[in-house]
Amino acid sequence: MPQVLSKDGTSIAFDRLGEGPPVILVVGAFSARATGAPLATFLARSFTVFNYDRRGRGASGDTLPYAVDREVEDLAALIAEAGGAAAVFGYSSGAFLALQAAARGLAITRLALFEPPYLADTGEHLESPDHAAVLAELIATGRRGDAVEYFQTQIVGIPEEIVVQLRLAPFRPALEAIAHTLVYEATLLGDRSLPTELARALTIPTLVVAGGASMPFMRVTAHALANGLPSGQAQVLEGQTHDIEPAVLGPVLEAFLTQHPASPAGSAFADTSPPSTGWGTQTVAPSGLSPA
């Protein structure tokens, strides 16, 4: 399996598929490169796709202490491997990482974000618990299953009765195996506030996509984030949830990644749904381990 070395010496494993302009896929919580594999296969018809294991999961290495900057350096190493510049697709919390990387000046040509779970500003400023600290304590004391359930209930917003049912799911051991990376995800997510200042400074063409059947706040977020980006546009995929469906999302990404002039900023769609505090109750098997 191909690997690149990040700046701190951590090896990052990836699959390379297809021929064409480079695109790098960045997945979210509970996910390894298997989550992005179906979409990578679809996009490989037109692009060279780099589908990688983020640090701490799959075949990639890990180096402590964790910092978001180290994950940005991982992505920088992949961009260098791709030839020095690449488009980037970020899924869920992976969209947070992709946006942070773009803001730090990585050579990202186009940015596509699928259901980034930011919370658009409702005017309420509530105290946000230190989820990363709680998760770190659970991991340190060997309570990996509790860490999985804390993330599912307190961050994702899955109802507790469903989480209890999932304890016997066949993919539960796989979730616990990468539970330590939930500390990383919580660090990356922070309080999930919309990054308005960062967005205003980001000039690369950016597409923000939400599922029409996903949590209502996802559509509000996509609209708000796109409107705050100088070269942003939003699109809602009717009938889609937080899960990636390559046959639906793939053509949208192909069209965006191959268009030449940037589309007008903040393409609009109507949505008056209020923001929510969770982003769905879909839970899928290890090929796409999480709604995060």
pLDDT tens column, 137-192: 999 999 999 999 999 999 999 999 999 999 999 999 999 999 999 999 999 999 99
Do 39 and 155 share a domain, yes or no? no
Which residue's structure tokens are 């879909």?
282
* Domain span at 174: 131-188
Do 149 and 277 share a domain, yes or no? no
Asked if 62 contacts 55 with a C-beta cutoff of 8 angstroms, the reply is yes
Residue 224's alpha-carbon distances to 189, 191, 232, 256, 264, in angstroms, are 17, 17, 10, 19, 15
Do 113 and 232 share a domain, yes or no? yes
CA–CA gap between residue 90 and residue 24 (Å, rounded): 8
CA–CA gap between residue 226 and residue 95 (Å, rounded): 13
Residue 142 backbone class (left: φ over 0; alpha: ψ -120 to 50; beta: rest): left
Give me the mean pLDDT over the 223-250 stretch. 97
Task: Encode 236-261: b = buried (16+ Cβ within 10 Å), e = exposed.
Answer: bbeebbbbbebeebbeebbebbeeee
Among residues 151, 170, 188, the one where a domain terminates is 188
Q: What is the pTM of this model?
A: 0.89
Among residues 160, 188, 216, the one where a domain terminates is 188
Look at residues 67, 101, 64, 97 and name the one whose alpha carbon lies nearest to residue 85: 101
Is 50 exceeded by the pLDDT of residue 23?
yes
Q: In this structure, what token pair is assigned to residue 90?
A: 């970020």
Q: What is the pLDDT of residue 259?
A: 83
Q: What is the pLDDT of residue 120?
A: 84
Domain count, the chain: 2
Q: What is the pLDDT of residues 33-69, one digit of tens each?
A: 999 999 999 999 999 999 999 999 999 999 999 999 9
Q: What is the pLDDT of residue 262?
A: 41
Q: What is the pLDDT of residue 152?
A: 96
Is 80 exceeded by the pLDDT of residue 89?
yes
**Side chain identity, residue 194:** L
Q: What is the pLDDT of residues 202-215, one digit of tens each?
A: 999 999 999 999 99
Q: What is the pLDDT of residue 128?
A: 75
Give me the mean pLDDT over the 7-15 stretch. 98
Do 95 and 159 share a domain, yes or no? no
Do 10 and 115 share a domain, yes or no? yes
Do 153 and 176 share a domain, yes or no? yes
